[in-house]
């Protein structure tokens, strides 16, 4: 057997703990190998210019943030050993990666993604939101795909180290957040359908703008009854990298027809709600909030879990059960939840050419839950749930 490495072009390696990250980065040499396109207002950072921008320039950059990848300063890389354990993680300068053509992740999709955010408080410190939940979810997904995974402690430490190394890319609290994307890849060579002999855990980050700069903006959904997101016994309940390509066709067709996104139904009865493309869904009627029960085809969203706990603490009755498409036509509100959007109200849903509109109540429940959750995430209120982790 021969070894295959995931190589980072012209990447200098730095090994250190999160507690010493800033002092080490000041000593680290930098490379100009990775550059940004001239059309972008963002450029590659160096140690000498990390704090050289004027406040006016930085403010202009934050104002132009969207939800697109920005090349930041450092990524985190950790490889598996022969026994499947991970060790010796390190930071490397952001740059292109090289994979062997026979890598399992390229040929058979053996890979897991995660997503979480870091927020800057008004006092300048940085918060992570429930990173241990992401670590646990990655472990569940890895087991399903015959992959080893970092321990929860390794995962959280890697996220912490990566965020601190890229601290200057964390936007001000009113401008956005730092999107954190952990990846677990089967990068070893395979030809037949078999688990990779080698795995790599890596993290990159990118600043993103706020989805709702002027308040919550409802979206318009179409319920899809031909294409299905997941099937029983499949991998719909984990963040397998291949899960998302399969929804692109339905999503593209929906947007071409004027809709914001797609609401998927179950593949057995073609009647029960499952998910929006990358978000969980909730249906509000009176004081009851219903959401599809987890059962193997629905992703156990961390935002979903948090919304359920907040709603219960506020006196709502929360039901996790089968929710039929017919219930949409009698609902007071419908909203989605996910890492990217937090809570997103639904303005209308169209099913079989029949449209139902919401908003008569002013999206009161959506707004209430959105405010409660984002106030915790951004450190604007006391975290009585114990969900946030202060980095500095």
Residue 345's DSSP bridge partners are 335
Taking the model in full, what pTM does it have? Answer: 0.86
The tens digit of pLDDT for each residue in 118-157 reads: 999 999 999 999 999 999 999 999 999 999 999 999 999 9
d(CA 229, CA 268): 12
- Over residues 368-381, the mean pLDDT reads 96
Residue 100, Cβ neighbours under 10 Å: how many? 17
Separation in Å, CA 54 to CA 60, 61, 303, 338, 389: 10, 11, 36, 34, 30
The tens digit of pLDDT for each residue in 169-201 reads: 999 988 999 999 999 999 999 999 999 999 999
Residue 153, Cβ neighbours under 10 Å: how many? 10
Catalytic residue IDs? 239
Separation in Å, CA 356 to CA 58, 271, 291, 333, 352: 43, 16, 18, 11, 11
Give yes or no for residue 22 having a pLDDT over 80.
no
The tens digit of pLDDT for each residue in 228-279 reads: 999 999 999 999 999 999 999 999 999 999 999 999 999 999 999 999 999 9
Question: In a 3-state reduction of DSSP, which class is residue 358?
Answer: coil
Q: Mean pLDDT over all residues of the chain?
A: 87
The tens digit of pLDDT for each residue in 354-365 reads: 999 998 878 999
Residue 31, Cβ neighbours under 10 Å: how many? 14
């Amino acid at each position: 057997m021969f070894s295959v490495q995931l190589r980072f072009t012209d990447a200098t390696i730095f090994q250190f703990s999160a507690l010493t990250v800033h002092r080490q980065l000041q000593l680290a040499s930098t490379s100009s190998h990775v550059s940004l396109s001239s059309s972008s207002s963002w450029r590659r950072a160096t140690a000498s210019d990390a704090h050289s921008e004027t406040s006016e320039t930085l403010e202009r950059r934050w104002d132009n943030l969207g939800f697109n990848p920005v090349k930041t300063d450092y990524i985190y890389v950790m490889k598996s050993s022969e026994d499947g354990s991970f060790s010796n993680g390190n930071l490397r300068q952001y740059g292109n990666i090289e994979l062997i053509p026979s890598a399992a992740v390229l040929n058979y999709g053996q890979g897991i993604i995660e997503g979480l955010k870091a927020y800057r408080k008004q006092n300048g410190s940085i918060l992570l939101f429930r990173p241990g939940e992401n670590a646990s979810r990655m472990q569940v997904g890895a087991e399903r795909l015959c992959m080893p995974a970092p321990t929860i402690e390794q995962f959280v430490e890697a996220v912490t180290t990566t965020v601190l190394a890229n601290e200057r890319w964390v936007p001000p609290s009113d401008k956005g957040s730092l999107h954190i994307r952990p990846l677990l890849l089967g990068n070893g060579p395979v030809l037949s359908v078999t688990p990779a002999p080698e795995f790599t855990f890596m993290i990159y980050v990118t600043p993103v703008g706020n989805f709702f700069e002027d308040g919550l903006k409802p979206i318009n959904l179409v319920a899809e009854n031909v294409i299905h997101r997941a099937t029983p016994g499949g991998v719909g309940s984990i963040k397998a990298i291949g899960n998302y390509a399969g929804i692109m066709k339905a999503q593209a067709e929906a947007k071409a027809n004027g809709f914001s996104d797609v609401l998927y139904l179950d593949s057995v009865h073609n009647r029960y709600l499952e998910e929006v493309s990358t978000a969980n869904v909730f249906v509000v009627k009176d004081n009851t909030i219903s959401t599809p029960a987890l059962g193997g085809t629905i992703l156990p969203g961390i935002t979903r879990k948090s919304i359920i706990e907040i709603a219960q603490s506020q006196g709502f009755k929360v039901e996790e059960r089968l929710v039929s498409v017919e219930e949409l036509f009698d609902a007071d509100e419908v909203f989605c939840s996910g890492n990217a959007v937090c809570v997103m109200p639904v303005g209308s849903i169209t099913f079989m050419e029949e449209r139902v509109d919401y908003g008569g109540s002013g999206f009161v429940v959506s707004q209430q839950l959105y405010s409660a959750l984002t106030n915790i995430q951004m450190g604007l209120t006391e975290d009585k749930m114990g969900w946030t982790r202060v980095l500095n």
